[in-house]
């Protein structure tokens, strides 16, 4: 009987300890949301990231929200041009952008993303003297960042007419000096014309692939990265940033010669298609590796998925 009581008491202590741990984790997750993400990393639920890469990617995700709030406080609309464009004064300079239906600013979100994604030990995206392809340049926020970081040449690749107008306004000096080339097409796996799905929210979400909350626009020209590189007679490509609303796999399929010849580093937006993107890059050159740059929880809150991924030689 005494032995039975001891076993029962030990079992009760184990259950109490387990309940305490669960309660502490629940409280910790409520008070500090990143805790759940770190717990998933610890048990191997970040399959597309290295251990350190996943930890840093989570940090950057939460740095983004802090940066967005601060930049919003420090920015304001300087000029409204009818219903077409607004001029934003921001901590990183002035930017024209298309007006949108929800009244928010995509420029401010992009600035916050730049501040967050290159923090927490992230590798510098661009080095002095490099040639950069900005695929999905939007209004030129990253293009300007690349120039500031010392890029010798940035090709701002953007098919949307309203965004192109803003790029030309925002980067007048850089275009005039030859540091920036504006390339008015989208990138795809072949030369083509496709209907652009125009976002009901923002021109930053216009897409040749995604159709949610969009309306049909006009047909716009597309080309391949390989054809673009040949047309512009580029002798090197060091870095490719790619944020083209779901068209990233198609664009990479049109870049095998560029990837194989120059072995550029890439920063690619992903949306559950990270394996496809990794496989396409490795088919072009087997030496490519990947790691996550920014991560979020999946819809079931059980796995960490990258939203931005580094592809590097």
CATH of the domain at 140: 3.40.50.150
**pLDDT tops 60 at residue 37:** no
Confidence check: pLDDT of 65 > 90: no
Residues 241 and 56: their CA atoms lie apart, in Å, by 20
Band (201; pLDDT cuts 50, 70, 90):
confident
**97 close to 80: Cβ distance less than 8 angstroms:** no
Judge whether 157 lies within some domain.
yes
- 152 vs 274, more confident: 152
Cβ neighbourhood burial of 261 (10 Å; 0-12, 13-18, 19+): middle
Q: Say if residue 303's pLDDT is above 80.
A: no
Distance, in Å, from the CA atom of 294 to the CA atom of 114, rounded to the nearest integer, reads: 11
251 falls within a domain: yes
Report if residue 22 sits inside a domain.
Answer: no
Whether pLDDT at 267 is above 90: yes
Predicted local distance difference test score (pLDDT) of residue 21: 53
- In a 3-state reduction of DSSP, which class is residue 66? helix
Answer yes or no: is 164 within a domain: yes
pLDDT number for residue 124: 87
In this structure, of 47-51, 54-58, 143-147, 231-235, the range with the lowest mean pLDDT score is 47-51
Residue 25 belongs to some domain of the structure: no
Tokens of 220: 């716009």
Q: Average pLDDT over the chain, rounded to whole?
A: 86
What local confidence, expressed as pLDDT, does residue 25 receive? 47
pTM summary value = 0.85
Q: How many CB atoms lie within 10 A of CB 195?
A: 11
Mean pLDDT of 10-34: 56
SS3 for 32? coil
The answer to whether residue 42 is domain-embedded is no
DSSP 145-183: HHHHTT-SEEEEE---HHHHHHHHHHTHHHHHHTSEEEE
Q: How many CB atoms lie within 10 A of CB 2?
A: 6
Over residues 12-32, mean pLDDT: 55
| % residues pLDDT > 90 (the chain) | 59
Residue 242 located in a structural domain: yes
Per-residue pLDDT for 188 more than 90?
yes
- Which CA distances in Å does 307 have to 46, 48, 110, 304? 12, 11, 14, 10
The CA–CA distances, whole Å, from 282 to 47, 62, 309 equal: 18, 31, 14
- 222, part of any domain: yes
* pLDDT at site 186: 98
* pLDDT for the residue numbered 176: 98
Range of weakest confidence among 66-70, 121-125, 149-153: 121-125
Give how many domains the chain has, as a whole number. 1
Please give the residue range of the domain that contains residue 128. Answer: 48-75+105-312
Asked whether the predicted pLDDT for residue 127 surpasses 50, the reply is yes
Measure the CA angle with vertex 63, ends 59 and 67; round to 5°. 170
């Amino acid at each position: 009987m005494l032995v039975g009581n001891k076993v029962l008491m030990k079992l009760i202590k184990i259950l109490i300890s387990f309940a305490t741990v669960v309660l502490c984790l629940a409280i910790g997750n409520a008070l500090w949301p990143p805790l759940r993400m770190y717990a998933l990393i610890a048990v191997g639920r970040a399959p597309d990231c290295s251990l350190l890469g996943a930890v840093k990617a989570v940090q950057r995700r939460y740095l983004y929200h802090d940066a967005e709030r601060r930049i919003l406080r420090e920015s304001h609309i300087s000029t409204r041009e009818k219903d077409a464009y607004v001029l934003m004064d921001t901590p990183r300079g002035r930017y024209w952008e298309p007006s949108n239906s929800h009244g928010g600013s995509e420029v401010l979100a992009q600035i916050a993303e730049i501040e967050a994604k290159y923090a927490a030990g992230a590798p510098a995206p661009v080095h002095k003297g490099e040639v950069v392809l900005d695929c999905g340049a939007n209004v030129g926020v990253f293009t300007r960042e690349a120039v500031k970081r010392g890029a010798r040449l940035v090709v701002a690749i953007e098919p949307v007419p309203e965004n192109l107008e803003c790029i030309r306004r925002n980067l007048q000096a850089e275009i005039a000096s030859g540091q920036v080339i504006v390339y008015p097409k989208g990138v795809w796996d072949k030369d083509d014309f496709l209907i652009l799905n125009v976002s009901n929210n923002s021109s930053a979400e216009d897409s040749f692939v995604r159709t949610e909350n969009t309306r049909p626009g006009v047909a716009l020209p597309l080309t391949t990265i390989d054809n673009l590189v040949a047309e512009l007679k580029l002798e090197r490509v060091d870095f490719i940033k790619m944020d083209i609303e779901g068209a990233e796999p198609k664009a990479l399929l049109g870049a095998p010669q560029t990837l194989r010849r120059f072995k550029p580093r890439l920063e690619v937006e992903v949306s559950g298609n990270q394996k496809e993107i990794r496989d396409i890059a490795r088919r072009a050159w087997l030496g490519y590796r990947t790691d996550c740059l920014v991560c979020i929880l999946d819809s079931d809150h059980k796995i960490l998925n990258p939203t931005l991924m580094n592809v590097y030689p």
